C-alpha cells in the first residue's frame, strides 16, 4: 500500500490491521521522507533513531496483534526537551546535553501502545520563545514559505507533522508553543489541561505551567494521543487526573473579540479570516458573545513581563550560573531579567494570578468556549533577527494567558490569506473539557474543508509508468452497512471507482448492531468467537491501493478497517467497530444484514 501524503492515524492503523501495511513498510517510507525533506529544511531534527533500531522496533511490533495496540506502527516525533532513552536530550543547547537513563513517562505510554519514535526535533532553546529561531541547530521554516518562521518553541515538531514525516509529534506548551507552530503550518495543536500528561522526563521551562502538547493532522488524532499518553504520575509534582467535564456541542455560546479589539498588526487578510471563522462556528450551532479580553491580556503580561520569568530561571539555575556564555543570546537575556524581581514580587505575582483566575472563572457563566486568533500574523525570519523580543511578543498576544488561568486549548487551521500563508484559530475552554474541546475544534476544522499541512500545495502523482487504474496492488473490501448499493455513503466507493465483485455472507460468528445516534444510520460489525449464526450480508468491492488509502482516510471513529472472514473462509478487508460502542446499540443479527433490517423498519 502506498502511504498517503499526510500520515494520519486512522488510515495507517486500519491498513496495518487489514494486513496491507506493516510497521516495517512505515519506517522505511518515513526514513526516506525524512532524508528527502532535509534538502528543503535541514533544521527539523536534532537527532534520529538509527535505521537498524527502527527496523528492530518494527519487527518487534510485527510479532504482536495489531488489534490490541491503539497506536500500532504509528510514527511520531519528540521535541528535544523530552527524554527518549537512547537519544541525547539537548533542549537545543549542546552544552546542556545529557543521556537520559529512561524515557519520559509519556514516551513509555505511547511506545507501549505501539507507536514508533522516529527522532528528536528542534526547538527554541529551553523552550523559551514562540518563533523557532533560537537554536544553534538551525531554524526550521514554515512549510509554505522558507522566508517565514515555523513558530516555536516546538518548531521541529510542528514541521515534522505538517511535512508528512510523522503521524503526530509531541511538543510542549507553556505560553503557546503547542499552538503557534500549528497555526503557521496548517495543522492541529492540542494543549491538554495542565497536569493531564505527566511532565516526568521533561526539561522544565516553568514547571508549574508546563504542558506536554500534541501536534497532529486532526483534532481526533490529537485527542487519541492524549488519551493514550495521559495518566496520573506521582513523580510529576503537578500531575492531575483528568476528571472529564462536558461542553455543549450542539448549541453553544462562544466568546469572540469585539471588533474594535481585534488586533492583527495590520494584517487585514487575517482579520477577514477571523470574521469568517466566527460565521463558520455560528453555522455549527454557536452563538457569539463579546469577550472582555483585558483580564486575559493582563494575565499574559505576568509570564514574560512580570515575575514569572523567575520560574524559568529556577528550572536551569545551576546551568545558567555556570554556562551563561553557552546559551542563545536572546534566551540568556530573558533569563537575565529574573534578577530584577524579588521573592516578594514573585508572591505578589502569584496573588494577582489567582485573583485573575477568579475573574476568568466567572467569565464561563457567559459563554462555553472562546474562539480566538492563534496569533495576529506570521512573521518573517528577518523580522525576528531585527527585533527578537518584539516579534516573539507579537506571536503570544492570544496564547500566553491560557496556562496561567488553568484552561485547555486546541489550535486548528482557519484558512489561507491571498499570499498563500496560513491562519489559525484556537478554541479555549475550562480545564478538563479536553475531549469535548477536541470534538468541537475538530468539527470546525472539518467544515473548513482544507487539506492538512503541506498537502494543501502538493499534487501527488502516480509513479512514472504506472496509471492510477493499474491492476497491481488491488484490495478487496467488504461493506456491511451505509456503503451498500442504494445507501447514503455508497458514493464514497463510486468516487474511488470501486468494482462490485460479489454479494455474499460473513462467516457465522459475527454479530451486527444498529449503532445509536449514527448519522447517517449505520451498523457496527463485531466478531464473537463461539457464536453460530447464519452469516450477514456483505458486498465485496475491489479498489486500487491508492483509492483504498483515500477511502480508509475517510473512515471515522469508532469504525476501523480490519480483516473479515467470509462464509467461504476467505479473508478480505472490511469494516469493524469498537465492541463497546457496537453493543451499546441494538442487536440486529437475526435480520441477516443491514439491508434487510432497514427494509423492515
Q: Which residue in 14, 103, 150, 153 is the catalytic one?
A: 153
CA-wise closest residue to 89 among 127, 34, 50, 52 = 127
Q: CA-to-CA distance for 29 and 33, rounded, in angstroms? A: 6
Q: Which residue in 167, 177, 213, 218 is the catalytic one?
A: 177
Q: DSSP assignment, residue 504?
A: E
CB 453 within 8 A of CB 185: yes
**120 in active site:** no
User: Could you count the other beta carbons within 10 Å of the beta carbon of residue 451?
Assistant: 15
- Sheet harboring 510-514: ordered strands across? 523-527, 510-514, 586-587
Please report where in the chains the cell 466566527 appears, as a residue: 278
- Sheet harboring 537-543: ordered strands across? 499-505, 537-543, 475-479, 571-577, 559-565
Q: Torsion angle, CA of 410/415/421/423, rounded to 10 degrees?
A: -40
Please report where in the chains the cell 482516510 appears, as a residue: 553
> For residue 131, how many C-alpha atoms fall within 13 Å in the half-sphere facing its CB?
27
Q: Which uninterrupted H or E stretch holds 57?
A: helix 51-61
Q: Which residue in 14, 47, 79, 381 is the catalytic one?
A: 79
CA distances (Å), origin 17, targets 21, 161, 205, 575, 583? 8, 23, 39, 11, 21
Q: CA-to-CA distance for 300 and 353, rounded, in angstroms? A: 10
Name the pairing type of β-strands 75-79 and 168-173.
parallel
**Strands annotated E in 41-112:** 45-48, 75-79
**154 in active site:** no
Task: Map 542-565 to HEC letters.
Answer: EECHHHHHHHHHCCCCCEEEEEEE
**322 in active site:** no
Among all residues, which ones are annotated catalytic? 79, 153, 177
Amino acid at each position: 500500500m502506498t502511504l498517503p501524503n499526510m500520515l494520519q492515524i486512522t488510515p495507517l492503523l486500519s491498513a496495518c490491521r487489514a494486513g496491507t501495511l506493516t510497521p516495517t513498510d512505515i519506517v522505511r517510507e518515513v526514513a526516506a521522507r525524512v532524508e528527502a525533506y532535509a534538502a528543503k529544511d535541514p533544521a527539523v531534527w536534532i537527532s534520529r533513531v538509527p535505521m537498524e533500531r527502527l527496523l528492530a522496533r518494527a519487527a518487534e511490533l510485527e510479532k504482536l496483534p495489531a488489534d490490541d495496540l491503539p497506536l500500532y506502527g504509528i510514527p511520531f516525533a519528540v521535541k528535544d526537551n523530552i527524554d527518549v532513552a537512547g537519544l541525547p536530550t539537548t533542549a537545543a543547547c549542546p552544552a546542556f546535553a545529557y543521556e537520559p537513563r529512561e524515557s519520559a513517562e509519556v514516551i513509555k505510554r505511547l511506545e507501549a501502545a505501539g507507536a514508533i519514535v522516529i527522532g528528536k526535533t528542534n526547538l527554541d532553546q529551553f523552550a523559551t520563545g514562540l518563533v523557532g529561531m533560537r537554536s544553534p541547530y538551525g531554524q526550521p521554516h514554515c512549510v509554505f514559505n522558507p522566508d517565514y518562521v515555523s513558530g516555536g518553541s516546538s518548531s521541529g515538531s510542528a514541521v515534522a507533522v505538517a511535512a508528512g514525516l510523522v503521524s503526530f509529534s509531541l511538543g510542549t506548551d507553556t505560553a503557546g508553543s503547542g499552538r503557534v507552530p500549528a497555526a503557521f503550518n496548517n495543522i492541529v495543536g492540542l494543549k491538554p489541561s495542565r497536569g493531564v500528561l505527566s511532565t516526568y522526563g521533561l526539561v522544565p521551562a516553568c514547571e508549574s505551567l508546563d504542558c506536554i502538547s500534541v501536534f497532529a493532522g486532526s483534532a481526533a488524532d490529537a485527542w487519541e494521543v492524549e488519551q493514550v499518553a495521559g495518566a496520573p504520575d506521582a513523580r510529576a509534582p503537578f500531575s492531575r487526573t483528568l476528571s472529564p467535564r462536558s461542553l455543549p456541542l450542539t448549541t453553544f455560546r462562544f466568546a469572540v473579540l469585539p471588533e474594535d479589539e481585534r488586533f492583527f498588526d495590520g494584517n487585514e487578510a487575517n482579520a477577514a479570516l477571523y470574521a469568517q471563522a466566527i460565521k463558520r462556528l455560528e453555522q455549527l450551532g454557536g452563538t457569539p458573545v463579546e469577550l472582555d479580553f483585558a483580564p486575559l491580556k493582563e494575565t499574559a503580561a505576568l509570564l514574560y513581563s512580570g515575575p514569572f520569568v523567575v520560574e524559568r530561571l529556577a528550572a536551569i539555575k545551576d546551568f545558567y550560573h555556570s554556562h551563561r556564555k553557552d546559551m542563545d543570546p536572546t534566551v540568556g537575556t530573558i533569563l537575565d531579567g529574573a534578577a530584577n524581581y524579588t521573592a516578594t514580587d514573585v508572591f505578589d505575582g502569584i496573588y494577582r494570578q489567582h485573583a485573575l483566575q477568579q475573574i476568568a472563572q466567572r467569565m464561563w457563566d457567559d459563554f462555553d468556549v472562546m474562539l480566538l486568533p492563534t496569533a495576529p500574523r506570521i512573521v518573517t525570519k528577518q523580522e525576528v533577527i531585527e527585533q527578537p523580543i518584539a516579534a516573539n511578543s507579537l506571536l503570544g498576544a492570544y496564547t500566553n494567558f491560557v496556562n496561567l488561568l488553568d484552561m485547555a486549548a486546541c489550535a486548528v487551521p482557519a484558512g489561507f490569506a491571498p499570499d498563500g500563508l496560513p491562519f489559525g484559530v484556537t478554541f479555549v475552554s475550562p480545564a478538563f473539557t479536553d475531549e469535548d474541546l477536541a470534538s468541537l475544534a475538530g468539527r470546525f476544522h472539518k467544515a473548513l474543508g482544507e487539506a492538512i499541512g503541506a498537502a494543501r500545495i502538493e499534487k501527488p502523482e502516480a509513479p512514472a509508468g504506472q496509471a492510477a487504474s493499474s491492476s497491481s496492488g488491488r484490495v478487496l473490501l467488504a461493506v456491511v452497512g451505509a456503503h451498500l448499493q442504494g445507501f447514503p455513503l455508497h458514493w464514497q466507493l463510486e468516487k474511488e471507482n470501486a468494482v462490485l465483485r460479489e454479494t455474499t455472507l460473513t462467516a457465522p460468528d459475527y454479530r451486527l448492531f444498529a449503532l445509536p445516534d449514527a448519522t447517517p444510520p449505520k451498523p457496527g460489525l463485531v466478531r464473537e468467537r463461539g457464536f453460530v449464526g447464519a452469516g450477514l450480508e456483505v458486498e465485496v468491492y475491489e479498489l486500487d491501493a491508492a483509492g483504498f488509502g483515500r477511502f480508509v482516510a475517510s473512515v471515522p471513529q469508532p469504525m476501523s478497517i480490519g480483516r473479515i472472514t467470509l462464509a467461504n473462509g476467505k479473508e478480505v478487508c472490511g469494516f469493524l467497530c469498537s465492541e463497546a460502542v457496537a453493543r451499546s446499540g441494538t442487536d440486529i443479527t437475526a435480520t441477516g444484514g443491514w439491508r434487510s433490517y432497514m427494509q423492515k423498519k
